[in-house]
Amino acid sequence: MTAESLHPVAPAASRLIYLHGFRSSPGSFKAKLLERRMTELGHAERFVCPQLPVSPAEAIALIEQQIAPQPGDTLVGSSLGGYYATWLAERHGCRAVLLNPAVDPAEGLRAHVGVQTMYHSDAPFVFEARYLDELAALRAGPVAAFAQRLLLVAAKGDELLDWRDMVARYPGAQQIVLEGSDHGLSDFADLLDDVLRFAGFMPVG
């Protein structure tokens, strides 16, 4: 399935805002691929990729206060970042691309309370039990009212999350369901232009 956008070309002030997942960082290979492609298209200054705090409440506060998503922006959220992106898209009226998004991270991350390490640096951090309540508070409502602003990418080969839960969570959204792939979307290079067309940074067709 192709992701043909129904939206006009992104306005000049719009941005592509990448939100990484749990234990990840701006060093994510998906973030780097998007940054490189945006640079190739002459939009380097319109790509934003913050390091998110471990606390969900602090992560959202950083995004809202320092980045301040606008309706013309597109959020690209991977895994836990997809959960954040859904809440932010509902609240701020922007578009969102959801890459193997976590549907119920408050439950899924319960087993990860305690000391963890970052993927890209092995730096330790503590995932506190109170963060589960912060996650639960960030669950967006039914997406029907803003489904036209969402693009879901769900991989049947995701080894961590169930793609069927993702599809059920986002009825009415544009959807790309991959027959294989994996949680990290190791074939993300093949999806770059679909993502950027949906965001308005490339022409449709």
Domain presence at residue 94:
yes
Contact 161, 79 (CB under 8 A): yes
Domain presence at residue 169:
yes
Domain presence at residue 3:
no
Percent of the chain with pLDDT strictly greater than 70: 94
The dihedral built from the CA positions of residue 93, 97, 103 and 106, taken in this order, carries a sign that is negative
CA–CA dist 57, 103 (Å, integer): 17
pLDDT at 8 over 70: no
With a CB cutoff of 8 Å and minimum separation 6, the contacts of 176 are 1, 3, 151, 152, 153, 154, 191, 194
The pLDDT confidence band at residue 5, using thresholds 50, 70 and 90, is: very low
CA–CA dist 200, 5 (Å, integer): 8
Over the stretch 104-146, which tens digit does the pLDDT of each residue have?
999 999 999 998 888 777 888 889 999 999 999 999 999 999 9
The first and second tokens of residue 86, run together, are 């859904």
CATH of the domain at 127: 3.40.50.1820
Domain presence at residue 5:
no
Domain presence at residue 37:
yes
DSSP 169-198: HSTTSEEEEESS--TT-TTGGGGHHHHHHH
Q: Which domain holds residue 169?
A: 16-198
Domain presence at residue 2:
no
The first and second tokens of residue 172, run together, are 């009415």
Which among 97, 112, 124 has a CA at the least distance from the CA of 198?
Answer: 97
Domain presence at residue 6:
no
For residues 194 and 203, which has the higher predicted lDDT (pLDDT)? Answer: 194
* Count of structural domains within the chain: 1
- What DSSP character marks residue 20? -
**At 152, which helix (H) or strand (E)?**
strand 150-155
Which among 147, 149, 135 has a CA at the least distance from the CA of 60?
Answer: 135
CA–CA dist 63, 148 (Å, integer): 22
The pLDDT confidence band at residue 6, using thresholds 50, 70 and 90, is: very low
CA–CA dist 43, 52 (Å, integer): 22
Over the stretch 78-102, which tens digit does the pLDDT of each residue have?
999 999 999 999 999 999 999 999 9
Domain presence at residue 139:
yes
The single residue listed with the structure tokens 């602090």 is: 58
Q: Label residue 100 exposed, middle or buried (CB < 10 Å: 0-12, 13-18, 19+).
A: buried
